[in-house]
Amino acid sequence: MADAVLVCAGTLTPATVERFRPLLTDAYTVAVDGGYELFRALKLAPNLLIGDLDSFTGDLSELPPSTEVVTFPSDKDATDLALALHHCDQNDLRRIRVLMPDLGDLDHLLGSLLLLAAFGKQGSPGQREIQIHTSEQIVEWCWDGERTITDRAGVRLSVIPLSEKIRLTTRGTDYDVTDCELVRGETRGLRNRLRNDTASVKVVGEAFIVFGEMPITETG
């Protein structure tokens, strides 16, 4: 379960709205500027609306008193997502789930992924958890950790090193490995697949674990 759910701006389809609906329960919810559109579609109010509001198309008067609004000038040195993460850090919210309806521009996507990894590294291994949900996939940031996945046989699995080197162990996949060294920039960790009803991925070092075509559930 996440401490905070951050919703980014993006194109929403009816399928994406329904995919994201169950992720907004039992957590502190943040509309990152235009991410408020998801809350409007679901007739929900976020706990926080934050950003320069350049992509916000709602009406601030429609927000209930329970929604905190924190605005910034458009001429600033940080993205709206960076501001939202800073807010989470200031409030000791360590388990973060980020909803991205679409991947947007490549420069923004790459910057956001590295931003989230940097946020995770501000703590010690195991202190912070980060998941990124798109309309079809889930990305988990992992630092010296292990993930157990149940009832997801057939789902695509890729492990992308962020550290210069990682050690990877997988079980219950098409290509199981034990303490396999992967170097940042190589592609041997791509396009594996979960084979068994229970599978595990262990990473020594820092990496992104990407689950393709992943239904919405906790991955353990």
CATH code, domain carrying 10: 3.40.50.10240
Classify 186 in phi/psi space as left (phi over 0), alpha (psi -120 to 50) or beta: beta
Phi and psi, residue 117, nearest 5°: -65, -40
Can you give the residue range of the structural domain that contains 179? 136-220
* 130 and 211 inside one domain: no
DSSP labels, 22-89:
GGGSSSEEEEEGGGHHHHHHHT---SEEEE--SS--S-GGGS-TTSEEEE--SS-SS-HHHHHHHHHH
pLDDT at 218: 45
* 63 and 123 inside one domain: yes
What's this model's pTM, rounded to 2 decimal places? 0.91
- Work out the pLDDT band at 58, boundaries 50, 70, 90: confident
* 141 and 172 inside one domain: yes
pLDDT at 207: 97
Q: Quote the crossing angle between the two packed helices 106-120 and 80-90, to the nearest 10°.
A: 10
Asked whether residue 1 carries a pLDDT value surpassing 80, the answer given is no
At position 185, the amino acid (one-letter code) is G
Asked whether residue 9 carries a pLDDT value surpassing 90, the answer given is yes
Task: Work out how many domains the chain is built from and give that number.
Answer: 2
Give tens-digit pLDDT for 195-213: 999 999 999 999 999 998 7
